Structure 1
Amino acid sequence: MKSFFKINTVIGLIVFGQSQAVKAQSLIFERVFDKTLAQTSYIIGNSLTREAIVIDPKRDIDTYLEIAQDKGLNITHVTETHIHADYLSGSRELAAATGAKLYLSDMGGKDWQYEFAHLPLKEGDKIELGSLALEVMHTPGHTPESLTFLLKDQSAPLTPIKAITGDFIFVGDVGRPDLLEKAAGQVGTQEASAKQLFASISRFMKLPDNTEIWPGHGAGSFCGKSLSSEPQSTLKQEKSSNHALQFLNNEAGFIDYILSDQPVPPKYFAMMKNLNKVHRPLLVEVPKHAKLSKIEADRAINNKLQIIDTRSKEIVASGFIPGSLHIEGGNSFSTFLGSLLDYDQQFILVAEEDKIEDLTRKLMRIGLDNIYGYISNVNGQSLALLKSDRVDLDKFETKIDSKDVQMVDVRTATEFKNGHIKGAENISFTSLTENMDKISRDKPVIIHCQSGARANIAYSILKKNGFNNILNYSGGINDWVEKGKELEKKIH
């Protein structure tokens, strides 16, 4: 099996200790960053005892097994900062594969308890790795059970070296307290969660200013609105630059700030909240999927299996299978597909053979395992292929000058608010299915997004639903701005 960290994960080995009580040769600290979900996990090891703990692992666990083997460590402990909403945790898979002890939060009340076997963690508990210890700090707000782990040297227990904060405090932001309501359906919880978050932050601010902050996400995550791409910070730096921390003496102002302008969470978040809490089948290896023959693929298509075409928009434009959804297999692939596909729906991937493992990894991280197989050559199928109707800037401008056309911007409401083409309507691609009545079947409809990826998805959704007079300005806002055209910020 290929090592994932050679494909799509950024790993940084960081050995600290020269200015701390922990000696450099005993502490091994590695950050594993998955850029597809902007998600971070950590391996902390003691080079003297060879023990290691993994915090917030992703589901393709071979990454951690290979790192441990390379560094001569034994993974003896696995834990999480909270019940995640944005990805399917690999904690149970990793514990099963290594025999490690699984430690999980026992805070937050009975409605926020993990429903499978684990060792419970409460405020003040410690997980020990020889002279190193992770002390548990209960930091509710993003979720009721949320924990922060304070890495300490047991010979100097009053001084934390690092704080593994999960989705509590990020670089440049703090965890959003509205996801329980918006993603998990816990109506009426966001204000109470915001108050909890404010109290947790106030308590955390009492730690030493030089405490290093190592968060669970970076820029690109839906778990906040202003996350930085920087991997870590210090408490002192965040006090001066993190806008959410400028309300330390103003609870009402903090609540208003943190609940406003949060991005709409992807549809699959509700499923993750549930699957990370309950019993589920474990997947300890990356699955291998069959390449379908022409007969097998035709049969599957006739049986209404969904086709997911992962090829580039340029290739798809020249020919695609009718009824397929076009979602390019880039960094946002899993987020987009998780926002559109039902989890009980079986599907087929259209992709080159050398891309299948990477796509499988991206999908297994959010539990989309229902892959029937894949095809790499659409020209070999029985159905007549369709071609995309794409327009460039010149043709786009000619069309929108006419009143006999509908222009639809399929980006998010926040993006639209921050700048859009005059005359455009905003219907996000994830809400198209529920808003078909707003799309004209009588006159031409031109769709666009920021760079073309979401517009191609929207185009495929509309074609699948019988809209035949659809044009795709695939250059989108990026092309519009690059050509010196103005955007309008007033919402109509």
Structure 2
Amino acid sequence: MKIEQIYTGCIAQAAYYIENNGDAALFDPLREVQPYLDRASRDNAKIKYIFETHFHADFVSGHIDLAQKSGGKIVFGPTANPEFEAIIATDNQEFKVGNYTIKAIHTPGHTLESTCYLLIDENGKQHGIITGDTLFIGDVGRPDLAQALTAELTQEKLASYLFDSLRNKIMPLADDLIVYPSHGAGSACGKNMSKETTDTLGNQKKTNYALRADMTKEEFTKELVDGLGLPPAYFPQNVMLNIKGYESLDSIIEKSNIGLSPTEFETIANQGDVLVLDVRHENDFVKAHIPNSIFIGIHGNFAPWVGSLLRDVNQKLLLVTPEGKEEETITRLSRVGFDHVLGYLKDGIEAWQKVGFETDTIESISPEEFSNQFSKNSIVVDARKPIEYEAEHVEDSLNIPLDSINENFQSVPKDKKFFLHCAGGYRSVIMASILKSRGIHNLINVEKGMNGIKQTTVPCTKFVCPSTLK
């Protein structure tokens, strides 16, 4: 069976493309749809359907733009109620793509409308199943996102639905089926996803904690919600964009991809409700940046960090980008619904400095310099996730994960110098920029993070493999 996984690592998301006998279909496409149109064109195929597994929370899907440009029909599962034209499939409804058959299997739990799509080849053999966020490799979808729509849908109730969907709809299927999930490791839609992005269903029955045959519904619910944490704040906003519709990406790029002179840029930045977002490399940001700007480098997990930390998709943004990365930055922001870019600084930070405008810096030192300055009285803030911190950390350091900085801002030392680090140097600079924008300047960033620190004589706790931690 001809199926192609189109994986986007920066948001750990997988779309799928199938083609047979001149018909093509996409599953869970991203917002930039031209690559899908080009892919179908190479096959001399027409996109017949755009299948959605559910209303996504972590990204804005490309279903509307793709339908308008291709003529394909949007398909959602039972109970979906989008505010645009779409086919609402019934449970077990079949769709033909050439000689292939796509069977919709309603699997509520992650969300009420969540639907998997069974792929049946031209010979009638069941080849695989596109599981969306119902079943991942090593995990299942979190059951708390539908609460954005109604408080009556508790995570316990949705977990109960998910248990039944997995046992009654997915696990009875053949072991040799290929599981094609919508996300891999790094996505916030689950908590224990594998770095692998496909597997056989039979192997998942053996290795996925949520598919244990002897598991009770109560045990499933407890293990599923334990340690889940709050979903990122932008998730409900993305859900609503996927339900209600959105402005086309073409028009977003047209109105946002505007080069501004330093004077124009400063005038807009001083309006009060505009945030300057600097997406260059952290090594460049620490040397010189516009005061009060926020750093989130485009080379890292850019869009998820933007969504998690900036939170409001209606936030007006001005961009400082590497040369030639302006449109890419706008596009990647649009993946998580941040459509209000007002322009970018033409010719970059060099143009800003050339006209004599003020810049700021972040004091940043090597791991070796940190080792030389470190003493038993040093204050060290670790910006990594708790599981990373528990595995190994500088003795007596304070763990304030980057994704919690908005809630734990008051926990940051304010009257003494402190050292700030993460794993490799990316997250600590993000946190440093947020702290400096709020008036906290008494920090020193440690370059290369824990990866560098553990090569020095700074005392650290003994390493514990994260897989052994509870």
Q: What is the aligned counterpart of 1:324 among 277, 283, 293?
A: 293
SS at 1:287 equivalent = helix
1:88-487 equivalences under 5 Å are 88-107=60-79, 113-153=81-121, 156=124, 159-181=125-147, 186=151, 189-203=154-168, 204-262=170-228, 264-284=230-250, 287-288=253-254, 289-304=257-272, 305-341=274-310, 342-375=312-345, 376-381=347-352, 382-397=356-371, 399-403=373-377, 405-483=378-456, 486-487=460-461
Closer, same or farther: CA 355–185 of 1 in aligned 2, 3 Å:
farther
Given that 2:289 and 2:361 are in contact with CA atoms closer than 8 Å, whether structure 1 keeps it comes out as yes
With structure 2 as the length reference, what TM-score do the two structures score? 0.90
Cα distance in 2, alignment partners of residues 153 and 443 from structure 1: 65
Structure 1 position 333, deviation (Å): 0.9
Given that 2:319 and 2:344 are in contact with CA atoms closer than 8 Å, whether structure 1 keeps it comes out as yes
SS at 2:315 equivalent = coil
Structure 1 position 160, deviation (Å): 1.8
Question: More displaced, 221-230 or 89-98?
Answer: 221-230
Consecutive unaligned residues of structure 1, counting only runs of 5 or more, are 1-15, 17-27
SS at 1:415 equivalent = helix
Q: Write out per-residue CA displacement over residues 463-483 of structure 1, whole angstroms, 9 at most, x where no aligned residue.
A: 111112111123222212344
Q: Write out per-residue CA displacement over residues 364-417 of structure 1, whole angstroms, 9 at most, x where no aligned residue.
A: 1111121111124323324321221112334434555253x5322222333333
Cα distance in 1, alignment partners of residues 364 and 442 from structure 2: 12
Structure 1 position 444, deviation (Å): 0.9
Given that 2:78 and 2:106 are in contact with CA atoms closer than 8 Å, whether structure 1 keeps it comes out as no
Structure 1 position 298, deviation (Å): 2.1
Closer, same or farther: CA 487–264 of 1 in aligned 2, 3 Å:
farther
With structure 1 as the length reference, what TM-score do the two structures score? 0.86
Number of paired residues?
A: 455
Closer, same or farther: CA 185–349 of 1 in aligned 2, 3 Å:
farther
User: Which amino acid letter does the alignment assign opposite residue 443 of structure 1?
Assistant: K
Structure 1 position 103, deviation (Å): 1.4
> What residue number does 1:3 align with?
none
What's the RMSD between the two structures over aligned residues?
A: 2.3
Given that 2:53 and 2:115 are in contact with CA atoms closer than 8 Å, whether structure 1 keeps it comes out as yes
Question: More displaced, 317-326 or 258-267?
Answer: 258-267
Closer, same or farther: CA 482–184 of 1 in aligned 2, 3 Å:
farther
Consecutive unaligned residues of structure 2, counting only runs of 5 or more, are none
User: Which amino acid letter does the alignment assign opposite residue 348 of structure 1?
Assistant: L
User: Which amino acid letter does the alignment assign opposite residue 469 of structure 1?
Assistant: N
Identity %: 32
Question: More displaced, 465-474 or 283-292?
Answer: 283-292
SS at 1:486 equivalent = coil
Closer, same or farther: CA 469–36 of 1 in aligned 2, 3 Å:
same
Cα distance in 1, alignment partners of residues 234 and 462 from structure 2: 32
Q: Write out per-residue CA displacement over residues 110-136 of structure 1, whole angstroms, 9 at most, x where no aligned residue.
A: xx5223221111101111123221111
Given that 1:59 and 1:364 are in contact with CA atoms closer than 8 Å, whether structure 2 keeps it comes out as yes
User: Which amino acid letter does the alignment assign opposite residue 371 of structure 1?
Assistant: V
User: Which amino acid letter does the alignment assign opposite residue 18 of structure 2?
Assistant: I
Structure 1 position 212, deviation (Å): 1.5
Structure 1 position 84, deviation (Å): 0.6
> What residue number does 1:60 align with?
32
Q: What is the aligned counterpart of 1:51 among 23, 33, 39?
A: 23
Question: More displaced, 265-274 or 33-42?
Answer: 265-274
Structure 1 position 284, deviation (Å): 4.7
Closer, same or farther: CA 194–79 of 1 in aligned 2, 3 Å:
same
